[in-house]
């Protein structure tokens, strides 16, 4: 330190002046101490006076809030009354900038000032202190969330009406500006400053007012927070923000229970009292300094001009060079050695500046290149550590350099990617060729594809790696390949043309649709496909749409290469070509020939009967409506004939549906031959036909036509399987005698037909008003059915089913009877169709099931646990969501009965016409263990696929075959074939209608499993069944007289599902 000339000269001067300075300083020191002590006493006195005034402000605010908290209007902070009350109070007292009452959760729902959004003060320390301590609290410095100004909040607890529940806080917001102005109300000594600080020692008020100090720490004044009692005053010496020395006295204005306090500090300047002592000191020191200065000037001048000045120039030049600058040439003076040193330094500096400028320009060029490319640039040393990194800030891959610099690749890359880098790095070092490869990374929840290129940096062992994201490029390539595949393999014909419609390219489907190969159609106009079925105006409108909107689509007829004209759906879109100066038209062709045919077929099926090709009921209804309108205008009459074929069901059941369909077609043809061309013949459905005889002059014309129809339809029908005979029952209604609407005329003809059928069939009947009585009887029966359900008039009879081998009673079939209070026992054939039509079959069937479940324990107790009960279930029950069948299995579980105790009997139609709900219920029955029996087997279609699909357990051979066993070889063979087939499928066989010993022996011979019929037992009530022997022979006839039981040989329409089938 003392090796320089300047320092040695200074040291010498100091040694000479030091004794004199020491004497002068000690004299001035004691004089200053006395001046400071006087200022201290004055500061303490001023602080005490000002503190009294400020405590009154705090106490007044506390009292104000305490009174405010007692007001009823603020007890419920959530009420609008609370906010209105505070707004009124705030207008009366301008000491506060805002008043509010936050609720117990800190939500400021009550506030004097309007708010645009909900404000919460739950996180404010003053709120938490006041709520937990339930006492007065003052916040620290804060930015008020409502007034958006710097403020301090004073809070006092608010209790609900019960006086115990703390519902919130009464809060007064005091502006720091207002509090600062309160400090000025008490005269303070000249030059004094006053500060009020919060618990964090943050300034919240100043005198004189200086807003930039608000919110800053008081530690900048050099004094700490006092820790004395509330009214005690302590003092300290510090500097204010302007560097002036002051004597500060401190006094606590408010102290919370947790020790947090608000402090008043008053500072008086001590520079003025000390000024006199200082002036004396300075005057004495000045005289001494003048003497020493003269000596220093003389000695220093020579040192300055010859040594120090050249050294300063050299030091300044060095500092400028450090910042990349160079000093301008100037006249050099001083010692010769130092002048030469300066000259050499300037030459060196010039060389360095030029080199740095060239390097900077090169760096800027590289930086511009990196910023213009979407690539990432890495400089990596031989250890795999990243030494440099560049990327464009606009790149999607941009990351801060700190993410990469001085990181090893193995630390930031997945293992597989790092291994690829190492492999290609080694290959590059061996071959010297640029290495490039692709890899994949998962980024931003998606897989990205990158291409990397690696090369060595000349003159260094490091290498440069450039990485580019080629994900979109790969996607574009894949998209182009996919588009080409779609174009070439699309099922729709496509052609791309230029703006004038000349074909540029086609796909394979275009050739399939039009017949034109690519070489035959390229370069030709789309007009080559014209069919000439459209007008020129059509094509003009089409091209007008294309030119204006770029698009057209619609149905058009075009011509194939072979000349065939066909309909197609054509869509033409316009797209821009690559250079955007040309456009292309994309035409999509879809051959709709089959669709047109399908539409026509659908229309025909909707309006015509598919079997007979006659108009259906819908078309006839329209014709009938038109006929009514025309007859009303012409004042003419016409007849409506409702024709039902008699005995058709017997033909259909015995000869099969194919023969039944053939008969219906022949009947339709015969009807057409019986009427005029102007008349209408339609098929109602099933074996029913409707005729409209237009413009009848009198009833004789109708009579003649009807007789011709009856005679024609009664003629034999030569069918595939033989000759069949049917007759017809015809109901006739006349317009306008029997009705003025289509519904009335059809209803009248329908009722007339039923009258003709009930009178013996093969006849006709005109509508009479008396037929309305029959309709009323039907209404009464529907009503009685409802009553029967309510009055429990339905009863169950049981017919035994025995083992075909030994006659053991194995099963019983539950059969329904209706004991009408006036009409007696009613056959199911009379009420089941109505029950199905009105859907009453659902509650009736459910009641049958539950009665069976109730009877089963008693029956099994008598016959054994192997006893099964069969019950017939209507197709309506299967297809109706409200039938309640889903509750059957839970009912069995509740009764403790396994599902195998029940056998549900259905007809083939249930399976063949099964809806989704029917199929589901059939499957669920099997899952529940309830077995399934197929009734009347052999009389319908008898589809084996349905038998396997729905897991049929039993097949019941219809009695028509059983009763013919002894007289018909075909019946015997059929029964034997059914039994063998069923056994092969694991299905047991029940023969119905067994009445003779010979029939039972034949059934035993063909190994039928079970037998049922009057030969063993008739249907009987449960009480009689419980007296029945366990083994039955053909001589055991325990049933009552069939006439009294209305069994009549247990015909098919007496059992539930038989009547159901007929009704359907």
**Region of poorest pLDDT, from 493-502, 666-675, 849-858:** 493-502
Higher pLDDT, 542 or 403: 542
The owner of tokens 């000259």 is: 343
Kindly indicate the confidence band of residue 873, based on its pLDDT and cuts at 50, 70 and 90: very high
Average pLDDT over residues 758-771: 83
pLDDT for position 289 = 80
pLDDT for position 676 = 92
With a cut of 90, say whether residue 704 has pLDDT above it.
yes
CATH 3.30.450.20 given to domain 179-273: yes
Kindly indicate the confidence band of residue 796, based on its pLDDT and cuts at 50, 70 and 90: very high
pLDDT for position 485 = 63
What separation in angstroms does the CA of 857 have from each of 506, 605, 888, 977? 79, 53, 16, 37
Average pLDDT over residues 729-739: 92
Q: According to the 3-state scheme, what is the secondary structure of 293-326?
A: HHHHHHHHHHHHHHHHHHHHHHHHHHHHHHCCCC
Between β-strands 680-685 and 193-197, what pairing exists: parallel, antiparallel or unpaired? unpaired
**Region of poorest pLDDT, from 69-78, 134-143, 941-950, 1039-1048:** 1039-1048
What does DSSP assign to residue 225? P
Determine the Cα–Cα distance for residues 490 and 492; give it in Å rounded to an integer: 5
pLDDT for position 1008 = 94
Question: Which sequence spans correspond to the domains of the chain?
Answer: 179-273, 373-475, 490-597, 608-767, 801-924+935-946+988-1000+1009-1063
**CATH class of the domain whose range is 373-475:** alpha beta
Mean pLDDT, all residues of the chain: 82
Kindly indicate the confidence band of residue 1054, based on its pLDDT and cuts at 50, 70 and 90: very low
Q: Which fold has domain 801-924+935-946+988-1000+1009-1063?
A: TIM Barrel (3.20.20)
pLDDT for position 1049 = 34
Q: CATH number of 490-597: 3.30.70.120, 3.30.450.20, 3.30.465.10, 2.60.40.10?
A: 3.30.450.20
Average pLDDT over residues 920-937: 89
What does DSSP assign to residue 327? P
With a cut of 60, say whether residue 234 has pLDDT above it.
no
DSSP, residue by residue, 244-285:
-EEEEEEEEEEE-TTS-EEEEEEEEESHHHHHHHHHHHHHHH
pLDDT for position 1036 = 41
Average pLDDT over residues 433-453: 81
Average pLDDT over residues 168-176: 91
pLDDT for position 859 = 95
pLDDT for position 198 = 87
**Region of poorest pLDDT, from 67-71, 460-464, 794-798, 1039-1043:** 1039-1043
Higher pLDDT, 285 or 373: 285
With a cut of 50, say whether residue 88 has pLDDT above it.
yes
Percent of the chain residues past pLDDT 70, beyond the cut:
84
Higher pLDDT, 150 or 398: 150
Kindly indicate the confidence band of residue 1012, based on its pLDDT and cuts at 50, 70 and 90: very high
Which range has highest mean pLDDT (211-225, 374-388, 884-898)? 884-898
Average pLDDT over residues 395-401: 66
With a cut of 50, say whether residue 228 has pLDDT above it.
no
pLDDT for position 847 = 93
pLDDT for position 989 = 94
With a cut of 50, say whether residue 218 has pLDDT above it.
yes
179-273 and 608-767 share one CATH topology? no
pLDDT for position 1039 = 37
CA nearest 826: which of 850, 844, 802, 799? 844
Higher pLDDT, 303 or 391: 391
Higher pLDDT, 534 or 942: 534
pLDDT for position 1 = 53
**Region of poorest pLDDT, from 105-119, 508-522, 623-637, 667-681:** 508-522
Average pLDDT over residues 538-564: 87
Q: CATH number of 608-767: 2.40.30.10, 3.30.1490.190, 3.30.70.270, 1.10.3720.10?
A: 3.30.70.270
Kindly indicate the confidence band of residue 857, based on its pLDDT and cuts at 50, 70 and 90: very high
Kindly indicate the confidence band of residue 222, based on its pLDDT and cuts at 50, 70 and 90: low
Higher pLDDT, 202 or 2: 202
Average pLDDT over residues 386-401: 71
Bridge partners, residue 803, by sequence: 1010
What separation in angstroms does the CA of 839 have from each of 520, 530, 832, 846, 877? 67, 59, 10, 12, 8
Determine the Cα–Cα distance for residues 55 and 233; give it in Å rounded to an integer: 14
Q: pLDDT tens digits for 4-24?
A: 666 766 777 777 777 777 777
**Region of poorest pLDDT, from 379-388, 644-653, 745-754, 895-904:** 379-388
What separation in angstroms does the CA of 1033 have from each of 616, 801, 996, 1008, 1028? 53, 11, 10, 16, 12
Determine the Cα–Cα distance for residues 619 and 633; give it in Å rounded to an integer: 21
Kindly indicate the confidence band of residue 1004, based on its pLDDT and cuts at 50, 70 and 90: very high
Higher pLDDT, 834 or 354: 834
What does DSSP assign to residue 241? T
Q: Residue 437: CB partners within 8 Å, gap ≥ 6?
A: 420, 424, 451, 452
With a cut of 60, say whether residue 1058 has pLDDT above it.
no
Kindly indicate the confidence band of residue 1047, based on its pLDDT and cuts at 50, 70 and 90: very low
Higher pLDDT, 1047 or 239: 239
pLDDT for position 1009 = 95
With a cut of 80, say whether residue 1045 has pLDDT above it.
no
Kindly indicate the confidence band of residue 912, based on its pLDDT and cuts at 50, 70 and 90: low
Higher pLDDT, 400 or 501: 501
**Region of poorest pLDDT, from 311-315, 392-396, 434-438:** 392-396
Structure token pair of residue 407: 């990181």
Between β-strands 931-937 and 954-957, what pairing exists: parallel, antiparallel or unpaired? parallel
The answer to whether 380 and 463 have CB atoms below 8 angstroms apart is: yes
């Amino acid at each position: 330190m003392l090796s320089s000339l300047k320092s040695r000269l200074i040291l010498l001067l100091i040694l000479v002046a030091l004794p004199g300075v020491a004497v002068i300083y000690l004299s001035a020191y004691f004089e200053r101490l006395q001046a400071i002590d006087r200022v201290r006493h004055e500061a303490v006195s001023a602080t005490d006076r000002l503190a009294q005034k400020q405590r009154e402000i705090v106490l007044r605010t506390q009292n104000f809030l305490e009174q405010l908290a007692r007001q009823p209007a603020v007890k419920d902070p959530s009420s609008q009354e609370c906010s209105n009350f505070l707004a009124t109070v705030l207008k009366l007292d301008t000491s506060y900038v805002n008043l509010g009452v936050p609720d117990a959760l800190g939500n400021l729902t009550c506030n004097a000032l309007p708010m645009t959004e909900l404000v919460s003060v739950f996180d404010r320390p003053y709120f938490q202190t006041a709520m937990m301590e339930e006492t007065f609290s003052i916040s620290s410095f804060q930015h008020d969330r409502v007034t958006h100004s710097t403020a301090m909040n004073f809070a006092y607890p608010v209790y609900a009406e019960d006086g115990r529940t703390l519902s919130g806080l009464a809060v007064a917001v005091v502006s720091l500006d207002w509090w600062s102005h309160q400090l000025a109300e008490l005269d303070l000594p000249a030059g004094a400053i006053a500060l009020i600080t919060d618990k964090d020692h943050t300034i919240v008020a100043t005198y004189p007012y200086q807003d930039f100090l608000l919110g800053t720490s008081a530690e900048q004044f050099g004094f700490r927070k006092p820790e004395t009692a509330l009214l005690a005053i302590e003092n300290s010496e510090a500097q204010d923000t302007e560097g002036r020395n002051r004597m500060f006295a401190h006094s606590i204005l408010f102290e919370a229970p947790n020790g947090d306090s608000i402090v008043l500090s008053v500072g008086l300047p001590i520079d003025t009292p000390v000024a006199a002592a200082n002036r004396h000191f300075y005057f004495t020191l000045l005289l001494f300094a003048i003497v020493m200065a003269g000596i220093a000037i003389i000695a220093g001048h020579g040192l300055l001009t010859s040594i120090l000045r050249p050294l300063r120039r050299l030091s300044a030049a060095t500092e400028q060079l450090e910042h990349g600058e160079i000093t301008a040439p100037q006249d050099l003076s001083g010692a010769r050695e130092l002048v030469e040193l300066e000259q050499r330094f300037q030459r060196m500096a010039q060389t360095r500046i030029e080199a740095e400028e060239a390097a900077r320009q090169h760096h800027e060029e590289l930086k511009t290149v990196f910023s213009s490319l979407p690539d990432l640039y890495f400089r990596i040393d031989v250890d795999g550590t990243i030494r440099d990194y560049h990327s464009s800030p606009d790149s999607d891959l941009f990351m801060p350099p700190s993410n990469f610099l001085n990181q090893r690749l193995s630390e930031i890359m997945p293992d597989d990617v790092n291994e690829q880098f190492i492999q290609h790095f080694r290959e590059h070092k061996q071959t010297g060729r640029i290495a490039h490869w692709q890899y994949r990374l998962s980024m931003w929840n998606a897989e990205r594809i990158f291409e990397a290129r690696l090369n060595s940096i000349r003159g260094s062992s490091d290498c440069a790696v450039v990485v580019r994201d080629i994900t979109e490029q790969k996607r574009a390539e894949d998209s182009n390949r996919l588009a080409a595949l779609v174009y070439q393999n699309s099922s729709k014909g496509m052609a791309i043309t230029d703006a004038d419609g000349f074909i540029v390219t086609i796909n394979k489907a275009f050739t399939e649709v039009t017949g034109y190969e690519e070489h035959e159609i390229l370069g030709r106009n789309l007009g080559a496909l014209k069919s000439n079925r459209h007008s020129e105006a059509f094509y003009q409108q089409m091209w007008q749409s294309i030119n204006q909107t770029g698009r057209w689509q619609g149905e058009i007829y075009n011509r194939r290469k072979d000349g065939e004209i066909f309909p197609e759906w054509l869509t033409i879109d316009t797209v821009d070509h690559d250079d955007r100066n040309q456009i292309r038209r994309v035409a999509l062709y879809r051959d709709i020939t089959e669709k047109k045919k399908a539409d026509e077929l659908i229309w025909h099926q909707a309006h015509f009967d598919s079997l007979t090709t006659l108009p259906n009921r819908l078309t006839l209804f329209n014709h009938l409506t038109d006929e009514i309108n025309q007859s009303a205008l012409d004042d003419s009459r016409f007849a409506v004939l409702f024709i039902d074929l008699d005995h058709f069901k017997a033909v259909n059941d015995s000869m099969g549906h194919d023969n039944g369909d053939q008969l219906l077609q022949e009947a339709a043809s015969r009807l057409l031959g019986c009427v005029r061309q102007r008349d209408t013949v339609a098929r109602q459905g099933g074996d029913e036909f409707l005729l409209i005889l237009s413009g009848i002059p009198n009833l004789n014309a109708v009579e003649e036509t009807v007789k011709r129809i009856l005679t024609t339809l009664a003629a034999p029908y030569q069918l595939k399987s033989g000759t069949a005979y049917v007759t017809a029952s015809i109901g006739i209604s006349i317009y306008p005698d029997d009705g003025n609407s289509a519904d009335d005329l059809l209803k009248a003809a329908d009722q007339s037909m039923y009258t003709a059928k009930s009178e013996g069939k093969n006849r006709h009947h005109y509508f009479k008003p008396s037929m309305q009585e029959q309709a009323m009887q039907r209404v009464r029966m529907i009503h009685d059915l409802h009553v029967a359900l309510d009055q429990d008039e339905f009863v169950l009879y049981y017919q035994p089913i025995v083992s075909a081998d030994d006659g053991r009673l194995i099963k019983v079939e539950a059969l329904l009877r209706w004991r009408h209070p006036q009409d007696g026992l009613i056959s199911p054939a009379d009420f089941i169709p109505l029950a199905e039509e009105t859907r009453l079959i659902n509650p009736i069937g459910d009641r049958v099931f539950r009665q069976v479940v109730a009877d089963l324990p008693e029956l099994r107790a008598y016959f054994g646990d192997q006893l099964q009960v069969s019950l017939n279930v209507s197709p309506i029950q299967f297809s109706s969501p409200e039938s309640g069948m889903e509750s059957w299995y839970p009912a069995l579980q509740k009764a403790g009965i396994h599902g195998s105790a029940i056998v549900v009997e259905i007809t083939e139609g249930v399976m063949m016409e099964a809806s989704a709900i029917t199929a589901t219920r059939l499957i669920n029955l099997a899952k529940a263990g309830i077995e399934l029996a197929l009734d009347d087997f052999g009389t319908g279609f008898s589809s084996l696929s349905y038998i396997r699909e729905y897991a049929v357990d039993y097949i019941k051979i219809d009695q028509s075959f059983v009763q013919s066993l002894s007289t018909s070889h075909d019946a015997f063979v059929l029964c034997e074939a059914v039994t063998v087939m069923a056994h092969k499928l694991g299905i047991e066989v029940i023969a119905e209608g067994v009445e003779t010993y010979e029939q039972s022996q034949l059934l035993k011979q063909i190994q039928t499993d079970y037998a049922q019929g009057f030969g063993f037992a008739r249907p009987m009530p449960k009480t009689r069944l419980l007296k029945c022997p366990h083994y039955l022979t053909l001589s055991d006839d325990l049933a009552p007289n069939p006439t009294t039981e209305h069994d009549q040989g247990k015909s098919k329409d007496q059992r539930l599902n038989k009547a159901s089938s007929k009704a359907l």
